[in-house]
């Protein structure tokens, strides 16, 4: 049994369509996502100081890279941006940080409450309460849905794992430089700077 299904035994879950998921009322105290039509709900996780600081730093560095591009090729989104990775079976998630291209933005209806495509880059920052297996299951779903680059960031151990659909995961520690070629041309940053 996958970790996500094991974890869900402790959470309220039921199957539903994308339309039913979209019509759920907003609840600031509840985190919701749907993977392959299965709804997951749990109390909203309080983000730790290292999580918040790391998210702000990565968003800043991505925005710096974006500002240096000749034509802004997309948007950096943070604060658990909502994405519909797939309509059938419905898979909607929230992502700590994401980068979407202008083409991806154009594919989303202007009135949509969430972005209706998989982002080019998804960044998941682990909090102390996160279950590593749950995050890995979520990352596998990102890659299956068309995300080209996923960073799993672990502030407690100053480690970044990079996932791509066509390659083995790569580990980057504070002695390494993180790059994102060919997807974010020219993006380079010392991992130590992210965790400084």
Q: Which element (helix H / strand E) includes 82?
A: strand 74-86
What residue ranges do the domains of the chain occupy? Answer: 46-195
The Cα-based distances of 164 to 4, 144, 158, 178 in angstroms read 20, 10, 20, 14
pLDDT for 40: 64
pLDDT for 4: 40
Binning the chain into helix, strand and coil, the percentages to the nearest 5 are: 30, 35, 35
Q: Which CATH architecture has domain 46-195?
A: Alpha-Beta Complex (3.90)
pLDDT for 177: 97
pLDDT in tens, the chain (196 residues): 333 433 333 444 577 777 777 777 777 666 676 677 777 666 656 567 788 899 999 999 999 999 998 887 899 999 888 888 888 877 888 899 999 999 888 888 877 778 888 999 999 998 766 666 668 888 999 999 999 999 999 999 999 999 999 999 999 999 999 999 999 999 999 999 999 8
pLDDT for 2: 37
pLDDT for 80: 81
pTM: 0.78
């Amino acid at each position: 049994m996958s970790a996500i299904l094991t974890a869900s035994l402790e959470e309220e879950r039921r199957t539903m369509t994308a339309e039913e998921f979209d019509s759920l009322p907003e609840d600031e105290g509840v985190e919701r996502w749907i993977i392959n039509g299965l709804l997951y709900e749990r109390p909203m996780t309080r983000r730790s100081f290292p999580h918040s600081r790391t998210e702000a730093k990565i968003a800043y560095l991505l925005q710096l890279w974006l500002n240096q591009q000749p034509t802004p090729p997309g948007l950096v989104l943070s604060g658990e941006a909502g994405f519909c990775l797939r309509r059938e079976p419905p898979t909607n998630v929230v992502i700590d940080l994401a980068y979407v291209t202008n083409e991806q933005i154009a594919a989303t209806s202007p009135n949509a409450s969430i972005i209706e495509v998989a982002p080019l880059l998804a960044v998941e920052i682990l909090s102390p309460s996160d279950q590593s297996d749950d995050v890995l299951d979520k990352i596998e779903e990102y890659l299956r849905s068309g995300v080209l680059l996923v960073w799993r960031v672990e502030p407690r151990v100053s480690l970044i794992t990079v996932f791509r659909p066509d390659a083995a995961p790569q580990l980057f520690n504070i002695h390494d430089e993180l790059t994102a070629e060919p997807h974010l041309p020219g993006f380079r940053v010392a991992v130590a700077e992210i965790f400084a």
